[in-house]
């Protein structure tokens, strides 16, 4: 299955996503707590998919998407956001994110988004 990088400043959110994704047969290859760390880990690990929080310290998720897409235009990124961040989600999609999932995570929605974004690339 897919190699996935999880990016969220909240360890509990990364843990919840890891549980959902591993249960679906995916492998978590790395975790990051902010956008700069996400970019560094992306370059190092070259994951099939990145799940990226929007609101993080230092470098936010939108800037991280821009950095990753500049480095790898084919990068597949799904944004994670809390309710009411519609403008930020739209901005992230304009920057190259493929989809978004809303916190608190619904297992079915997470798996649907991951499978759709990965599509036939596996």
Name the packing angle between helices 86-94 and 61-71 (round to 10°). Answer: 10
Global pTM reads: 0.94
For residue 120, pLDDT over 80 is answered with no
For 32-90, what is each residue's pLDDT tens digit?
999 999 999 999 999 999 999 999 999 999 999 999 999 999 999 999 988 777 898 89
Domain with 19, as residue range(s), is 3-118
CA–CA separation, 110 and 59 (whole Å): 24
Structural domain count of the chain: 1
The CATH number assigned to the domain holding 110 equals: 3.40.50.2300
CA–CA separation, 23 and 115 (whole Å): 14
C-alpha distance across the termini of the chain, in Å: 7
């Amino acid at each position: 299955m897919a190699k996935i990088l999880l990016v969220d400043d909240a360890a509990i959110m990364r843990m919840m996503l890891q549980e959902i994704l591993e249960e679906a047969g995916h492998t978590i290859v790395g975790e990051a707590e902010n956008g700069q760390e996400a970019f560094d880990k992306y370059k190092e690990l070259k994951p099939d998919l990145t799940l990226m929080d929007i609101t993080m310290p230092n470098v936010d998720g939108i800037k991280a998407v821009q950095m990753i897409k500049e480095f790898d235009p084919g990068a597949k990124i799904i944004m994670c956001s809390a309710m009411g961040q519609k403008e930020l989600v739209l901005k992230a999609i304009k920057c190259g994110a493929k989809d978004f999932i809303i916190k608190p995570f619904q297992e079915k929605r997470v798996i649907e988004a991951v499978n759709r974004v990965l599509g036939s690339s596996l």
